[in-house]
Amino acid sequence: MHIFQYYLCFKGIVFRESLRFFHQRERFFSALVRPLVWLAIFAVGFRSFLGVSRPLGQPENWPYPVSLVPYELYITAGLIAMIQLFNGMQSSLSMVYDREMGSMRTLLVSPFPRSFLLVSKLVAGVSVSILQVFAFLLIALFWEIEPPLIGYLTVIPALFLSGMMLGALGMFLSSAIKQLENFAGVMNFVIFPMFFASSALYPLWKIRESSEILFYFCSYNPFTHAVELIRFSLYGQLNETSLVFVFIFLAIFLMLAIYGYDPSRGFITKKKI
Amino acid sequence: MNSSALSITKLNHTFGGELQVLSNINLSLDKGDYSILLGLNGAGKTTLFSLITRLYNNQTGSIEIFSQNIKTSPSKALANIGVVFQQPTVDLDLTVEQNLQYHASLHGMKKSLALENAMSELKRQNMEDIIKKKVRELSGGQRRRVEIVRALMHNPKLLLLDEPTVGVDIESRKLIVKHVKSLCKEKKLAVLWATHLIDEVDQEGKLIVLHQGKILANDVVKNILKKTKSKNVSDAFDYFTKN
């Protein structure tokens, strides 16, 4: 297999995932409705008595140009990461479904290395999630969520990295899950703790005021770093600590996913493909 | 080095280290061979196919496809295989063309070449008019034949079919059997066809009887009938599995 054939294979996988995505319009809309409900109801409801102000002595934790931001502006980064988290989990759910239905076999018997096939599938899923994020940002303009124009560009690499990290986590989970029915339970143990124990809805320094233990838990939550990477990049800035964390978690989850789908070692060998 | 289309030696497989599903499997197929792997449900046919296609890695023994070991050179070995799985694997929401293109890309084929190959295979089966149709709109028999077309698109030298006629009506079954046999003759394709249906056994071809994970017979049908003093394949199968 030479490089051009790798390109053809990658293109084919991305094309197929895009087709499936456009055939499942409900999936697109439901992925948008979820963060919009949070933005239009939850955040607006809290706006009257919640604003988030710059933390004293911690300028590195504040990307916004003003000292006090309305709550809906604060949680936008968290909601964007939420879209990616759900997309990653949705992709892994469809991998479990594909495995149960048998169509996963078509992918796995390709002569290309399995790691390449899995990464291509991840990139395809992330591309779809980036489209969803931009659709969300477009609608969010109605709530005056207006990051600087450059932010729409600088957020793309952050979205790619955080999407890959969350997608790799979903892929690893899909390799470890035996049946489709088990997926919902696992999601409850992954999505909710990841989302609520993060900086998506409240800043970490506020959490620290209430619970030191929870603060440390949130500080090492990969989702927190996805949120912060997106938050800063949306204002044309780089949160270096979060970038490092996202890279590390991406590497770990990707290795686990590749291990999970390895025919000689992974969890996939222990169940029906 | 071995130049067989498929060569399996001393293959064993267990699930979870306890349940032995395949035991000391040895078999080989040459170019142009048409072999039926006959066994009851649960005999180990699908596990054997999963090992040949590297869905699982073989724990012992070796599997070689045109001298390429599936464990050490999976890319080269898999490039020679076309496979139709027992479970349908075409995407129902995509058109036939989109399904075929996806498969072609998984083999690194250019779109133009893929379409050319697909059209010539579809024409052979008088099915060229379905290319723009969604798979969901096709009958069970047509879907299976699309899977065979897909398995042949990248010009494999070994075709594996795992119960390809399950859920297909009698007429479609006949067409599929006839088509695969003609491919075997014309393209010198080695075919391994797993089934539990005795009437799919070709009297001229080779028969491999797999029972409870063990190969009990592996010869041309005529020799098996002679050896077991049976009138037909059904009696011969009973001879091996009930004795």
pLDDT (tens digit, 9 = 90+) per residue, B34-48?
999 999 988 999 999
Domain count, chain B: 1
- Give the span between the Cα atoms of B45 and B43, in whole angstroms: 6
Instruction: Tell whether A48 is within 8 A of chain B (Cβ).
Output: no
Instruction: Tell whether A109 is within 8 A of chain B (Cβ).
Output: yes
pLDDT of residue A49: 59
Q: Do B56 and A269 touch (CB under 8 A)?
A: yes
Spell B55-64 as b/e; 16+ CB within 10 A means b: bbbbeebebb
pLDDT of residue A273: 47
Q: Do A103 and B105 touch (CB under 8 A)?
A: no
User: Which chain B positions have a beta carbon within 8 Å of A102's beta carbon?
Assistant: 85-89
Q: Do B89 and A105 touch (CB under 8 A)?
A: yes
**Residue A230 placed within a domain:** yes
Q: Averaged over A193-204, what is the pLDDT?
A: 90
User: Which chain B positions have a beta carbon within 8 Å of A105's beta carbon?
Assistant: 53, 55, 83, 85, 87, 89
**Bridge-partner residues for B83, per DSSP?**
B160
pLDDT of residue A48: 61
Q: Averaged over A1-5, what is the pLDDT?
A: 87
Share of chain A above pLDDT 70, in %: 88
Q: 10 Å Cβ neighbour count for A211?
A: 11
The chain-wide mean pLDDT, for chain A, equals 85
**Residue B139 placed within a domain:** yes
**Residue A55 placed within a domain:** no
- Tracing tokens 């029906």 back to the chain, one arrives at A272
Instruction: Tell whether B78 is within 8 A of chain A (Cβ).
Output: yes
- DSSP-derived letter for residue A146 is -
- Does the pLDDT value for residue A23 go beyond 50? yes
Instruction: Tell whether B79 is within 8 A of chain A (Cβ).
Output: yes
- Give the span between the Cα atoms of B5 and B71, in whole angstroms: 16
Tally DSSP H helices, then E strands, for chain B: 8, 10
- Does the pLDDT value for residue A114 go beyond 70? yes
- Give the span between the Cα atoms of B127 and B124, in whole angstroms: 8
**Residue A62 placed within a domain:** no
3-class DSSP state for residue A266? coil
What phi and psi values does residue B38 have, to the nearest 5 degrees?
A: -105, 130
What phi and psi values does residue A217 have, to the nearest 5 degrees?
A: -60, -45
Share of chain B above pLDDT 70, in %: 98
**Residue A84 placed within a domain:** yes
B170-187 helix and B140-152 helix, angle to the nearest 10 degrees: 10
pLDDT of residue A271: 53
Instruction: Specify which of A54-68, B25-39, B171-185 reaches the highest per-range mean pLDDT.
Output: B25-39
CB B158 within 8 A of CB B190: yes
Instruction: Specify which of A155-159, A262-266, B39-43 reaches the highest per-range mean pLDDT.
Output: A155-159
pLDDT of residue A183: 67
- Does the pLDDT value for residue A70 go beyond 70? yes
A217 vs A28, residue with greater confidence? A217
Plot region of B126 (φ>0 → left; ψ -120 to 50 → alpha; else → beta): left
Tell me which residue range forms the domain holding B119. Answer: 91-155
Sign of CA dihedral A153, A158, A161, A163: negative
Tokens representing residue B195 in the block: 């089934």
The CA distance from A200 to the nearest CA of chain B, in Å, is: 36
Tokens representing residue A14 in the block: 């991305």
Q: Do B108 and A1 touch (CB under 8 A)?
A: yes
The CA distance from A261 to the nearest CA of chain B, in Å, is: 9
DSSP element (H, E) containing A6: helix A3-23
A23 vs B109, residue with greater confidence? B109
- The residue of chain A with its CA nearest to that of B13 is A269
- Does the pLDDT value for residue B158 go beyond 50? yes
pLDDT of residue B210: 94
CB A53 within 8 A of CB A70: no
- Give the span between the Cα atoms of B127 and B140, in whole angstroms: 14
Q: Averaged over B66-77, what is the pLDDT?
A: 92
A179 vs A164, residue with greater confidence? A164
The CA distance from B59 to the nearest CA of chain A, in Å, is: 8
- Give the span between the Cα atoms of A260 and A172, in whole angstroms: 6
Task: Decide: pTM greater than 0.90.
Answer: no
The complex's ipTM works out to 0.83
**Residue B12 placed within a domain:** no
Instruction: Specify which of A48-52, A86-90, B7-11 reaches the highest per-range mean pLDDT.
Output: B7-11
pLDDT band at A65; cut points 50, 70, 90: confident
A138 vs A261, residue with greater confidence? A138
pLDDT of residue B114: 86
Domain count, chain A: 1
Q: Do B108 and A9 touch (CB under 8 A)?
A: yes
**Residue B113 placed within a domain:** yes
**Residue B220 placed within a domain:** no
pLDDT band at B9; cut points 50, 70, 90: very high
Instruction: Tell whether A23 is within 8 A of chain B (Cβ).
Output: yes
Share of chain B above pLDDT 90, in %: 50
DSSP element (H, E) containing B83: strand B81-84
The CA distance from B7 to the nearest CA of chain A, in Å, is: 18
List strands edge to edge, sheet with B62-65.
B19-29, B6-15, B62-65, B68-69
Q: Averaged over B187-195, what is the pLDDT?
A: 91
Q: Do A112 and B106 touch (CB under 8 A)?
A: yes
User: Which chain B positions have a beta carbon within 8 Å of A267's beta carbon?
Assistant: none
**Residue A58 placed within a domain:** no
- Does the pLDDT value for residue A53 go beyond 90? no
Tell me which residue range forms the domain holding A34. Answer: 3-47+70-270
The CA distance from A86 to the nearest CA of chain B, in Å, is: 22
**Residue B165 placed within a domain:** no
CB A186 within 8 A of CB A173: yes
CB B149 within 8 A of CB B155: no
Q: Do B102 and A270 touch (CB under 8 A)?
A: no
The chain-wide mean pLDDT, for chain B, equals 89
Instruction: Express each pLDDT in B218-239 by its tens digit.
Output: 999 999 999 999 888 999 999 9
- Give the span between the Cα atoms of B194 and B207, in whole angstroms: 10
- Tracing tokens 């306890």 back to the chain, one arrives at B18
